[in-house]
Copies of this chain bind each other. A is one copy, B any other.
Amino acid sequence: MTGNGSESGRVVSDEANRPGDRDRATLPEDASRTPAENAQLALLLEVAGTPKPGNVDRARDLEDLRFEHFLAGAIGAGEGLRRAERGARVGVAFERAVAGMSRQSGGNTQFGCLLLLVPLVSAAARERLTADGLERIVADTTVADAVAFYRAFEHVDVAVRDPPADLDALDVRRGSAAASTLRDRGLTLADVLALSTETDSDDRIPDWNAVEWTTGFERTFAVADSIRNGTGPVGDRVARAFIDLLADRPDSLVATAHGPAVAREVSERAAAVRGDPEAANELADALVEENINPGTTADTVAAGIFVALERGLSV
């Protein structure tokens, strides 16, 4: 693109100041990513990291769940994340994020990620992005947040466990139908997630996303530190963080789908490939073949990437 020889001489600099041109008047401005944007980027960097054994990654699709569904999910989640940034209730922002995420044909791509990212964005925008800040965000949730959280399950099929019989009225799959029960019992979103951390036997592997909610996002911050302190391209750091976390902690979704014994065995297999990219690639292919998807581990990694970005990780 070059120039021209026109010599009309018309002076039109007033154009730049006409009413309604406030965008221009504020330039130059800070064009850094906002918390909502960092959350979207965290979703993208998470799915792009490879190898991430058992999950969709830059190199692998599952049969009906492909990389492009995660790209669409990350973009669709934007409005909900921006509402969290602007101060909307956590439950309301979460429901909107899930509704937007679900506008693709792959099904549930990032429900669990968003359950962590929405309060993290709220903390980054309104509080401090620390354990204390997150504890305040969680403590501030209301019954309305719990109702919105249940409603979010109407937008997309989420793999969940059957509740004990006495808690059947609070099965998340009831969606909006659980609202009156939530109101009658005065349950906030924090209450609902605290109940989800209770294990019903020694053998049960907890819902790690609910655990994050009740522990000031302890593992999220630990993952963020490991990613920030890592070396090499972000995609490689993400893959290492995923394998380390999976090796350390049996995955909740694998336990729900295949039972706790399989979840523990998968963690042992992950531990065995630490530090060996070739073996990690083989494990990734094997778990995809076995239809074993450690989705909850990916949720925590996405949350950790967000915190790392907010704390200065550059891409």
Contact = CB atoms under 8 A, between A and B. Distances in A.
Interface of A: 1-13, 15-16, 21, 23-24, 27-29, 31-33, 37, 40-41, 44-45, 48, 58-59, 66-69, 71-72, 74-76, 78-79, 83, 88-89, 92-93, 95-96, 99-100, 102-105, 142-144, 147-148, 151, 155, 160-161, 163-164, 166-172, 178, 181, 183-187, 191-193, 195-196, 207, 210, 233-235, 314-315
A187 B6 contact: yes
A248 to B, nearest CB: 23
Given A3-B178, A13-B183, A33-B100, 7 more contacts: A3-B171, A4-B187, A24-B89, A31-B99, A48-B71, A58-B58, A104-B314
A125 B27 CA distance: 23
Nearest to A39: B75
A31 B147 CA distance: 19
Contacts of A95: 27
A164 B27 contact: no
A1 B12 CA distance: 62
A147 B27 CA distance: 12
